[in-house]
Structure 1
């Protein structure tokens, strides 16, 4: 099942059920006007929405053509946006880029931070940038949207709490990070609003490529019209979504509508390219002694999507342009 959120009325938009080809939709209806409403009542909402999805597929319900530019993020605002960093290669490279050592618990204890969730960007929203000196970067990620998830959830229990999956561009201001982290209190100004894919899909839509808490497909990033990278999202995700959920719930519970990010998808194989510019710049530094790729500037574009074996865009395409704020 594929879901999306049309803009308006109100800030939380209107929940829609989307055809599997991403070209048409039907409204979810008054009972579940928003995705958050559906997540809050998932036991009743899921089967009803699946019936609509099947009717849309069979052509027995009225369908409307879908204009992706009219979509907000699946959750225009979320109760929590918690981002992990599950790819070891990414952690090592970006730590080197800012002259920091990886933590001693790199492979045993997940890294997470809590980002802003009150303002989330839609898939075609511009990325506003006030100062190019701040070092704007994209970060291509996969995400899970959770239902109510109690404290003490184990990795073996975690799968039952994943309601939907989507993609994200976790926008980062790289040059603001070192001074923030030096204060010993984590990211804040260096993490502006995150953008999300047009569609959130139920895990069963992925079939056997969603296994062991990982999505075993390539995540494709196209920067200024050229392929930046298409790394495998599965094999090198050191901490799975199940592991991340177990870590998050060590000391507290999470409410339905929490979004959990994987962190920047990254492979050790350089042939797979990169999912952020910080990695490219670090590779240039290792090879040539200094980075040559600039961070994003006004006018630059980034597109992020994930294709299945048949070449279909599962979550739709994040496609953004940097504009002067």
Structure 2
């Protein structure tokens, strides 16, 4: 089952069930007005949404329409919580090595994670608004999962059952603001603006054999200005599964239905597969050549992030965005 939200009906959008090929959709208002409402009562709404998806696939769904990607908001236009991990340790190892630092042993057994921005997500075709190129604009191509209600202290094996949806995120970073913030010892704030979600989120069963051991096993393909940038394997070099990441986030608190948990930037030991963020590429260049050569994004630059299945069909739809100058207000 694939779910999305239209840019209508208020700031949380209107829930739609989307066809497998992402060409058609049907409003699901008789079941739940928004995706958050559906997740709040998932055990009851999921079977009904699945039935509607079957009707759509059979051509029997009343009110079905052709889907326009520009009409889509983020599937969850705002979420109660977004916690982002850093599960791909090749990225962490290279970044630290570039600045002459070792990776602490704890990083291999205890996930890195921070509280990300969840109050608003860009839609898959919305521009990324930034006040200045001097901030060092970067994309970060990641996989996310969305949970139902997760109890505090849940074990990874049980946490797996609380993963209800899978999708993609462009976790936008402002790299030149990060060092100053981290130097304060209190984490990210201004350096992590709004992120963008993929056009649809899908249930794990929709992924078939590509969802195994609570990990997605497909290439994460990225382009900048139409040029290939990377296709790192999402199921390779992921130190912690999503079940482990969910359990880590819920160690001392319950997670509310609709919580988004991110994988962190996809990165492999094999640098020949390209990168999923500019910081990674610049680190590889620094280790190889002594300095970075690839610039951060400029206004007018475009990014595209997508994962396709074994026959080349898009799974979540593509995130396609233009970096755009935001005029300060007020």
TM-score (normalised: structure 2): 0.96
Corresponding residue of 1:127:
128
The residue that corresponds to 2:313 in the other structure is 312
Query: Structure 1 residues 195, 100: closer, same or farther in 2, change over 3 A?
Result: farther
Q: Structure 2 CA distance, aligned partners of 1:95 and 1:126?
A: 31
**Are the aligned partners of 1:97 and 1:278 in contact in 2 as well (CA < 8 Å)?**
no
Asked if 1 retains the 8 angstrom alpha-carbon contact of 2:31 and 2:48, the reply is: no
Q: Give the C-alpha shift of residue 31 in structure 1.
A: 3.4
- 2:103 aligned with 1:102: yes
Output the aligned Cα RMSD.
Answer: 1.1
Q: State the partner residue of 1:220.
A: 221
Tell me how far 1:254 sits from its aligned partner.
0.5
Consecutive unaligned residues of structure 1, counting only runs of 5 or more, are none
Whether the 8 Å CA contact 1:98–1:178 is kept in 2: the answer is no
**Paired residues of 1:147 and 1:257 also in contact (CA < 8 A):** yes
Distance 1:114 1:19, change over 3 A: same
Residue 104 of structure 1: how far off its partner (Å):
3.3
Cα–Cα, structure 1 residues 107 and 113, in superposed 2: closer, same or farther, change >3 Å? Answer: same
Question: Any idea what SS the aligned residue of 1:256 has?
Answer: coil
Partner of 1:34: 34
Q: Tell me if structure 2 keeps the 8 A contact 1:5–1:75.
A: yes
Partner of 1:195: 196
Mapping of residues 251-290 of structure 1, within 5 Å: 251-290=252-291
* Contact 1:306 1:313 (8 Å CA) reproduced: yes
Further displaced range: 99-108 or 283-292: 99-108
- Counterpart-to-counterpart distance in 1, 2:65 and 2:247: 40
1:145-193 Cα shifts (integer Å, max 9, x gaps): 0000001111111111011000000000111111111111011111000
**Cα deviation, residue 93, structure 1:** 2.4
Give the Cα separation in 2 of the matches to 1:158 and 1:207: 19
For residue 247 of structure 1, give the secondary structure of its aligned residue in structure 2.
Answer: helix
**Corresponding residue SS for 2:233:** coil
Shift of 1:98: 5.6
Displacement of 1:92 in angstroms is 1.7
Q: 1:205 aligned to 2:197?
A: no
Cα deviation 1:59-117 (Å, max 9, x = unaligned): 11132000001101110000001000000011122334566543331201100000111
Give the match for residue 297 of structure 1: 298
Whether the 8 Å contact between 1:78 and 1:118 is mirrored in structure 2 is yes
Is structure 2 residue 31 aligned with structure 1 residue 10?
no
Deviation of 1:48 (Å): 0.4
1:52-71 aligned within 5 A: 52-62=52-62, 63-71=64-72
Q: State the shift of 1:9 in Å.
A: 1.5
Q: 1:269 to 1:85 in 2, by over 3 A?
A: same
With normalisation by structure 1, the TM-score equals 0.98
Q: Distance in 2 between matches of 1:172 and 1:100?
A: 22
Instruction: Give aligned pairs, total.
Output: 325
| Deviation of the 1:253 alpha carbon | 0.4
1:19 aligns with 2:53: no
